[in-house]
Amino acid sequence: MKLTLLAVTVSALVMGCTNTINSSTHVSLASDTSIASNQLKQMNISYPKTRKDDVTDTYFGTQVADPYRWLEDDTSSETEQWVKSENAVTQAYLAQVPSRDKLKERLKVLLDYEKISAPFKEGKYTYFFKNDGLQNQAVLYRQLGDGEAQVFLDPNTFSEDGTTSLAGLDFSKDGSLVTYMISEGGSDWRKAITIDVETMQNASATLKDIKFSGISWLGNEGFYYSSYDKPQGSELSAKTDQHKLYFHRLDHKQADDTLVFGGTSEQKNRYVSGEVTEDNRYLLISAAVSTSGNKLYLKDLSQPDSQLITILDNNDSDTHLLDNEGSTLLFVTNLDAPNKRVVSVDASQPQPENWQDFIAQTDNVLDVSTGGGDIFASYMVDAISNVKQLDKNGKLIREVSLPGVGTASGFDGKKDQQVLYYSFTNYKTPSTIFSLDVKSGESSVYLKSKAKFDSNAFESQQVFYTSKDGTKVPMIITHKKGLKLDGTNPTMLYGYGGFNISLQPSFSSTNAAWLEQGGVYAVPNLRGGGEYGKAWHDAGTKLQKQNVFDDFIAAAEYLIAQNYTSPDYLAIRGGSNGGLLVAATMLQRPDLFKVALPAVGVLDMLRYHTFTAGAGWAYDYGTAQDSKEIFDYLMTYSPVQNVRKGVNYPATLITTGDHDDRVVPAHSFKFAAELQAKHTGSNPMLIRIETNAGHGAGTPISKTIDEYADIFGFTLYNMGIKVK
């Protein structure tokens, strides 16, 4: 089971479904602006005094002040005290929100149901994840045949507060050994623990300081993994710039691991990974300097002294191995195919000039998986799934019949599997797991969600609106049936718009709380994402980044024009790159929104590349050092540098984690300080800093419940909506 599959599984377990509760505890939303306004006036906020230093940087002759630079030091006692002071102010405010406790209880009920993942076979055992209800982390079970399922790994025992999570899981090819990785406090730095599945005893020393890595086994000898040298200074914020691929033999110490790739200046890359083919014959090495584009190398493991063969020596495409049959390799690539294609080539001459189309590019973006000896081509048609089953020669067998309009994912497994599993979901439908008979193509419900959510009471519709430059952008709007279009509906507009990430319809337990109570949930597929291939991604990068903000603003204007909502009832939310989206948009159009909710955002665009692996995001953003043109462009929208004095900004709740070592919390700290110093008006400018938490992955359910109660409570309160 690969790392990516685990991440999807765990995410689905936490966010996949919801329950409703009986009418005696039902929480309804009723507009009562006068009551809320009176309450708001009573909340006088005294923000902590944030020291300003005389710090400036010069970019191409332009001086830029950075008075809150000291907040970047996450090891200082002064920063620690500032965090405590800000949290105290925020919690004092949230404690007065009347709906906070009711929302928290509601969320507990919504999340309190049994959640089970699709099963997967490793060796003689079948494994699956299960969360009994409000367990902080999903538990990994296994069973032998029809025997009783037993706990195999319980991440809830990793730490008392549930903040140490299972962050990776990879079995050896025969299933007799497994390496699992753990994340402590949400950090991207991992420990890797290898055990014998029968004895449950350690089969190797624990590996430490692993980051941005999967595990790929070579027989039972050992495995490949990637990491950086431990940085000097703070491991949470110091720059990590040279990724290295190692091979670990089970009987060796980590200090004796073999450096395979990435140790020289010629091989310096920010992201390096190694993958062994299922037959143990080949090692594929991917190397990249950014989050888009990669070089690719091949080593024949059947020949111990074989040389590394270069397949791609540039970063002009995204290419990865799909499968192999003997010496025939199948690659998924967007080289000369912006919507991606599958090519075949012999390993003896694997360069692009020898590639042959195996699955040709179409008008829709392609994603591919294998299982049961067949290939499953999943196409994204306006962000909606369409899946075709092909034989090993690429010939169409059938189109997989899906239960509705939404997102289907899975369709992967070992070559000898005759039954595969996939999940189906959309914004109003809790995720259901289906089994697929590979030979007949028949699907049947394997595991229906136990969520007591009445999908029939809600509706989702896809609309297309026009952005500032005339581009048509799709958006899915979900709400209760019979919604009155009178402009007073509390609306959450969620977006991302970057890094080739596609927002396909999926159900969320927490968002269900919003929907149940009459809220509108709207998700546009902004440029910068991957919904329409590389061209759509590139249209929202570097000197075209403003397109993303324009698309988001146009989505808000559409919702207002169609009378779904109005500026008094419209909130915007997004995380990471989506946090940048929310912050930039609220600064550009403060008149358009009532509430802004930027989460773990990239907010200082002049310095993001100086922290951890941030330099790898330059494909999307460019850096302030690249050229005067890019510096000037970044200065037009970088949130930390664009907060203006005397502006009445929307009520803002910034959220971040003190252990976020992907987008360091200093981004959020500095943005909060700027807002608190310059904002005019009574709207709160608050920051909620979760302790012992990172960028989001592995967050325990207890913290999720608290966070969303705060977010929804803050939002509704500032819209003047009373929660009964």
Contacts of 80 (CB under 8 A, 6+ apart): none
Distance CA 616, CA 662 (A): 11
CA distance 541 to 585: 16
Q: DSSP readout, 220-270? A: TTEEEEEEEPPPSS-TTTS----EEEEEEETTS-GGGPEEEE--SSTT--S
Indicate the residue type of 552.
F
Task: Name 236's bridge partners.
Answer: none
Instruction: List all residues 6 or more positions away from 278 whose beta carbon is below 8 Å from its beta carbon.
Output: 173, 323, 324, 414, 415
Q: Which two structure tokens, joined as six digits, stand for 156?
A: 């809830």
**How many CA atoms does the CB half-sphere of 78 hold within 13 Å?**
10
Give yes or no: 243 in active site: no
DSSP conformational letter for 578:
H
Query: By the 8 A CB rule, do 197 and 178 touch?
Result: yes
**Among 187, 168, 17, which residue's Cα sits nearest to residue 699?**
187
* CA–CA distance, 74 with 716 (Å, rounded to integer): 33
Of 226, 576, 638, 668, which is the active-site residue? Answer: 576
Pull the structure tokens for residue 552. 């988001």
SS (H, E, C) 692-705: CCCCCCCCCHHHHH
Q: Is 320 a catalytic residue?
A: no
Instruction: Write the CA distances from 271 to 142, 243, 425, 440, 616, integer angstroms.
Output: 33, 5, 32, 41, 8
Angle at 131 between CA 15 and CA 10, to 5 degrees: 45
Query: Which residues lie closer than 8 Å to 133 by C-beta, 6 or more apart?
Result: 111, 112, 113, 114
In 590-684, DSSP assigns E strands to: 595-599, 651-657
- Nearest CA among 490, 565, 495 for reference residue 717: 490
Joined together, the tokens standing for residue 154 give 């319980």
Cβ contact 129:140 at 8 Å: yes
**Strand 189-196 and strand 207-211: pairing?**
antiparallel
Other CB atoms closer than 10 Å to residue 63's CB: what's the count?
Answer: 8
User: Does residue 214 come out as left (phi exceeding 0), alpha (psi in the -120 to 50 range) or beta?
Assistant: beta
* Residue with the two structure tokens 């807002």: 675
C-alpha count within 13 angstroms, C-beta hemisphere, residue 391: 6
Give CA–CA dist 641/547, Å, rounded.
Answer: 19
Tell me which residue of 379, 388, 407 sits closest to 504, measured CA to CA. Answer: 407
Residue 206: phi and psi, rounded to 5, are: -70, 130
- The SS3 assignment for 559 reads helix
User: With contact defined as beta carbons under 8 Å apart, do 715 and 490 qualify?
Assistant: yes
In terms of phi and psi (left: phi > 0; alpha: psi -120 to 50; beta: otherwise), the region of 497 is left
Q: What is the spatial distance between Cα 440 and Cα 160, in angstroms, rounded to a whole number? A: 48
- Which tokens hold the place of 523? 């998700």
Distance in angstroms (rounded) separating the CA atoms of residues 406 and 385: 6
Parallel/antiparallel/unpaired status of strands 685-690 and 651-657: parallel
Backbone angles phi, psi at 721, to 5 degrees: -105, 125
Question: CA distances (Å), 151 to each of 120, 133, 708, in order?
Answer: 15, 16, 30
Would you name the residues annotated as active-site residues?
576, 695
